[in-house]
Amino acid sequence: MESGIINLNIVPVRKEDNAKSEMISQLFFGETITIIKIINKWSFVKSNIDNYEGWVRNLHYKKLSNAEYLEISNKKNIFSSTELKIKDIINEIVVPTGSLISSAKFLNYEHEENQNVISISKIAKSFLNTPYLWGGKTKFGIDCSGLVQSVFKTFNIILPRDAKDQSKKGIEIINEFKNGDLAFFGDNKEKISHVGIILKNKKIIHAYGKVRIDSINNKGIYNIEENKITHSLQIVKRII
């Protein structure tokens, strides 16, 4: 199969091969893909980051030769913890948090120093008040599992795209939850439908209407505005 690389800052991944189809995820600048099939102006692709599959426009990626793909794959990747300004000779684009920069020798990029010491909670809080968007993974719009995936990606920890698959990673924690643990919610452990990142002081950050911070207890997420438990806690996992 052929390979490609995303050459725009944000590319929608759709359920079907048309622009009106539901967006199920997004791909970021610098991420590589496997091209499974091409139909007219659309390609059915698999992300080489998380193996998620969907349809993208042919114009939104550049095909790679085997040699180019191997060169990119063998480079040490940089996952941005903030928005980066990427420049080449004539163009400049801003790529979102969590974008993959694999060919650094060709780029001039500006970023905060000591990115590795920025806490998970700080990066997660940078998404506060981002509107909820099904399939979204950026500060223009994001869903619950997209928030978790994007935050952990900045630490070079690649999690699956969907909450139900994310819940299968890490070590289950029975009590003494800590900052950075992932809490999963749903009808039962086999029907996970929501995820959030636990913060200090029995708080959780998650995407529900928007990215927000709520209280969490052994029953689930307590929403003070609705005065009720909005999501039933099923399992907590420690990734780091």
Token pair, residue 167, equals: 């819940």
111 is catalytic: no
194 is catalytic: yes
Catalytic residue among 60, 111, 194, 231: 194
Token pair, residue 97, equals: 């948090």
142-152 core/surface letters (b: 16 or more CB in 10 A; e: else): bbbbbbbbbbb
Are 205 and 211 in contact, with CB atoms under 8 Å apart? yes
Q: For the beta carbon of residue 74, count every other beta carbon within 10 angstroms.
A: 8
Length of the chain measured in residues? 240
206 is catalytic: yes
Are 116 and 106 in contact, with CB atoms under 8 Å apart? no
Are 150 and 137 in contact, with CB atoms under 8 Å apart? yes
Per residue, the 3-state secondary structure of 155-205, as one string, reads CCCCCCCCHHHHCCCCEECCCCCCCCCEEEEECCCCCEEEEEEEECCCEEE
Name 82's Cβ contacts closer than 8 Å, sequence gap at least 6: 97, 111, 112, 115, 126
Catalytically annotated residues = 144, 194, 206
